[in-house]
Amino acid sequence: MLDAEIISSLQNARIKNLVKLRNRRPRDRQGIFIAEGYRAISRGLERGVVPEEVYFSPDWFLGENEPALLEDAKNKGATLFELTKVAFEKVAYRDRPEGILAVFKQWSHQLDEIELSDSPFLLIAESIEKPGNLGTILRSADAAGVDAVICCDSVTDLFNPNVVRSSTGVLFSMPTVMTSTRETIDWLSKKGIRSVATTPHAEDFHTAVDLTGPIAIVMGSEQFGLSETWLDACQQQVRIPMAGQADSLNVAMATLVTLFEAVRQRTLSS
């Protein structure tokens, strides 16, 4: 078996700290976060993001690939810790633990670090509140192939356990900038990138507006939609036609629909 320190006491300082990391303050103060489960951790490793520590408990393993993943992480510099079944249950965030959990260093990207493609394609999300929505938005952005996601005045942090989980590892690959609305508007203008606001009050459907060329799709918060600042700053406003209940599409679903209309137009025009 793998050479690793074994931890069985629930009073162990590392165990206690893993539990603490569910909260943002200790997470930010220590500059680390947790990714749980085989898929997320292997996505990190595939992208060259090596965890500092990996905690595992074979009693919880779902498949047969976990030892190879642990070996890989260890060879790349991670420290392994083996936990008893009970100790792992205590640190796991999920109802059905997969027996593997890793601690990664946090990172941050700035607007000026974004590598823009020849025809920039960006997603901007303002004041997102729910971690699950942010994670799903990252997945949608990945599937649509945007250059980067810019979160303005975000209520949730990027390293919230539910963002990590719901992004299914996209967190490790999608350039994501946490910044303010003001800085983003200035930056877009400097870069000559047109911004398109999505709002139920727009006149035009998202399918009726040109979404090709250098563009940023701008989505508002769950409760309040886009701020006046963004609505004023955007060159165009669009809405998605809604056949049913007004709230059938949440912000993550509306993001997905708008991004894939942009993909359609950009594929045709390229």
Contact 157, 28 (CB under 8 A): yes
C-alpha span between 9 and 26 (Å, rounded)? 22
Both structure tokens of 174: 């999608």
Contact 40, 168 (CB under 8 A): yes
> Given the complex with a second copy, which of 140 and 221 has the nearer CB atom?
140
> Given the complex with a second copy, which of 107 and 205 has the nearer CB atom?
205
Residue 45 DSSP SS3:
helix
C-alpha span between 122 and 205 (Å, rounded)? 19
The enclosing H or E element of 56 equals: strand 53-56
**140 near a second copy, rule: CB under 8 A:** yes
Closest distance of CB 43 from a second copy, Å? 7
**267 near a second copy, rule: CB under 8 A:** yes
- For a second copy, the binding residue among 102, 103, 174, 217 (CB under 8 A) is 174
Going residue by residue from 117 to 136, which x/- string records binding to a second copy, judged by CB under 8 A? -------------------x
Contact 42, 98 (CB under 8 A): no
**38 near a second copy, rule: CB under 8 A:** no
Going residue by residue from 191 to 230, which x/- string records binding to a second copy, judged by CB under 8 A? --------------x-x-----------------------
- For a second copy, the binding residue among 17, 79, 162, 168 (CB under 8 A) is 168
**Rg of the chain, C-alpha, whole Å:** 21
What is the number of alpha carbons within 13 Å of residue 155 lying toward its C-beta?
Answer: 13
- For a second copy, the binding residue among 1, 6, 241, 270 (CB under 8 A) is 241
Contact 31, 158 (CB under 8 A): no
Going residue by residue from 55 to 84, which x/- string records binding to a second copy, judged by CB under 8 A? ------------------------------
- For a second copy, the binding residue among 145, 186, 204, 224 (CB under 8 A) is 145
Report the candidate in 138, 120, 163, 109 with the shortest Cα–Cα distance to residue 219.
138
- For a second copy, the binding residue among 11, 118, 247, 270 (CB under 8 A) is 247
Give the range of 16-24, 100-108, 157-165, 248-256 binding a second copy by CB under 8 A.
248-256
Neighbouring-strand partners of residue 205: 239
Give the range of 70-78, 105-113, 214-222, 236-244 binding a second copy by CB under 8 A.
236-244
| DSSP, res 76 | T
Strands 100-105 and 194-198, bridge-based pairing: unpaired
**149 near a second copy, rule: CB under 8 A:** no
Cβ-proximal residues to 31 (8 Å cutoff; 6+ apart), any chain: 105, 106
- For a second copy, the binding residue among 53, 142, 157, 183 (CB under 8 A) is 142
Question: Contact positions toward a second copy, by CB under 8 A?
Answer: 43, 136, 139-140, 142-145, 168-170, 173-174, 205, 207, 240-245, 247-249, 253, 256-257, 260-261, 263-264, 267-268
